[in-house]
Amino acid sequence: MADAVQGTHRRVGEPSLTDLIERSAELKGQLVAFGQSARFDRWLTPLLLEAAGPERRLDEGEAIRIIDHFILRYRLPDGSTVVDRFVAGRKDLTAADREMLLGWRDPVEGIFEIQRKEGGAVVLLNLVDDLEYLTYSNVGRAAFRQVSKGSFLHTCLVPVHSAGGAWLVSGAMSSYPRSSATEIAQVALQLATSRPELVFRNPRKVEQGWQAMREDRAAFVEVCGGDELVLSPAEAEDLLNAYYRHRQESAVAAHPDRARGRRLPGLDLPFFELPPELAGSDTIGVIYDQVDGLNFYADYGMLRDLFADPALAGRRQYQDLLRTYLRQESIGPLPIRRLAAAHPETVDAVFQKLLRKPGFTWSEHGEALLRRRKPWYYANEPRPGVSVIGDRLSALACGVP
């Protein structure tokens, strides 16, 4: 069940919701013109050309989505966004204008089911984060004239901050009839699994995600015999396929009503296939951590050998492998922490040889080293590696109207 719609509140002296929505239309028009000006061509044009493909064809809706994303979320070389530069360059903006514009940097992307209409607004249930949003359009109620309860929208929403709980459609808005529910649910599921950060806008889903991951990890340990494995690529694929098959069969057994009369994808097909950059490794490290979740590491067996025998640190291929683990942004601190904890007697010697620092000790300098090499990991709050979908999306995916 979705959380309740957040009500709108207005403090004395603040602009009314109607005034804010009207002002948002003016500001958005000015912001779009600013973002499409020549000063940003070097960044925006390549994005549009890439989306257009070799045929140089790009429909209007997709172009609007790309421009909207560029203006609100694209990071320029200095780390700022277009909207940051717009606000910085406009000294005439009021405090309410600035609050509204800067709030647009964090839009809500999703697949929405229309719950009902309320005056000039619609109440939308985001199938991805399972939250409801009281939504307006800065072009007026005409924007929702052709949509009805039970139909679906694919769009982005931005907040009207001073209105507390009111949202605005941003960019393109695509609508789909109620009859397309099953297909829409599959799109929403793909969005939820490929971009879990969208799910975790809902604090309840964060809590549920941690609980689901704990249960999933316990099942993994039971089926696979531990939370850290070193396998050949073929063995890793076979084991993971067996594990996922076991989990799906358990889910079917727990909810036979949902499976009755439906072909469940995956029961007769492989679930898991290693990407090429892992499939070519001699060994694969498979670690299911309590915080970092399930991860796969290339040539982990070779790295484990290094920590077991620090004399190997004198060999180029072992040095290169450890440097790769330290430098790559796709690899968090987890595997190095694990190996350091497993080999306390040798970890200092490994890093002393690699870094050419005889005074290096893991207990004193290890965490600082990881923070320097992987600041992105420490900059974000940990999130569960399991996305938990809402009841409504689950029902739609199973064909329940």
Give the pLDDT confidence of 90-121 residue by residue, as tens digits.
Answer: 999 999 999 999 999 999 999 999 999 998 89
Residue 322 has pLDDT above 90, yes or no: yes
Task: Write the secondary structure of 205-242 as one string of H (helix), E (strand) and C (coil).
Answer: HHHHHHHHHHHHHHHHHHHHCCCEEEECHHHHHHHHHH
Question: How many CA atoms does the CB half-sphere of 227 hold within 13 Å?
Answer: 17
Note the pLDDT of residue 400.
83
Average pLDDT for 351-372: 96
Q: Which helix (H) or strand (E) holds 170?
A: strand 166-176
Do the bridges between strand 284-289 and strand 228-231 make them parallel or antiparallel, or are there none, so unpaired?
Answer: antiparallel
Residue 73 has pLDDT above 50, yes or no: yes
d(CA 240, CA 271): 8
Note the pLDDT of residue 7.
46
- Determine the number of helices (DSSP H) and then strands (DSSP E) in the chain: 18, 8
Cα→Cα distances 147→65, 158, 172, 326, 397, Å: 20, 20, 15, 51, 22
193 pLDDT band, cuts 50/70/90, is confident
pLDDT in tens, 49-64: 999 988 888 889 899 9
In percent, how much of the chain has pLDDT > 70?
92
Whether the CB-CB separation of 166 and 136 falls below 8 Å is answered with yes
Average pLDDT value for the chain = 90
Nearest CA to 307 out of 354, 268, 259, 264 is that of 354
Hunting for tokens 């036979």 — which residue is that?
A: 256
Average pLDDT for 58-81: 94
Beta bridge partners, 170, equal 156
Note the pLDDT of residue 163.
64
Tokens at 208, concatenated: 């549920």
Residue 6 has pLDDT above 50, yes or no: no
Note the pLDDT of residue 364.
97
The larger pLDDT score, comparing residue 267 to residue 214, is at 214
pLDDT in tens, 253-300: 766 665 544 444 444 445 678 888 899 999 999 999 999 999 999 999
Cα→Cα distances 163→87, 166, 281, Å: 20, 6, 54
CB contact set of 360 (below 8 Å; sequence gap of 6+): 348, 351, 352
Note the pLDDT of residue 11.
55
Residue by residue, DSSP assigns 90-121 as -TT--HHHHHHHHHTTS-EEEEEEEEEEETTE
Note the pLDDT of residue 266.
42
pLDDT in tens, 215-259: 999 999 999 999 999 999 999 999 999 898 888 887 777 666 655
Tokens at 22, concatenated: 């009207």
Q: Where are the domains of the chain?
A: 17-196, 222-296, 299-383
Note the pLDDT of residue 165.
87
Q: What pTM, to 2 d.p., does this model score?
A: 0.77
Note the pLDDT of residue 13.
61
- Percent of residues in the chain assigned helix, strand, coil, to nearest 5: 55, 15, 35
Residue 326 has pLDDT above 50, yes or no: yes
Tokens at 34, concatenated: 């600013």
Residue 309 has pLDDT above 70, yes or no: yes
Question: How many CA atoms does the CB half-sphere of 390 hold within 13 Å?
Answer: 25
71 pLDDT band, cuts 50/70/90, is very high
pLDDT in tens, 155-186: 999 999 766 789 999 999 999 999 999 999 99
Beta strands in 206-328 (DSSP E): 228-231, 284-289, 293-298
User: What is the DSSP-derived secondary structure letter of residue 297?
Assistant: E
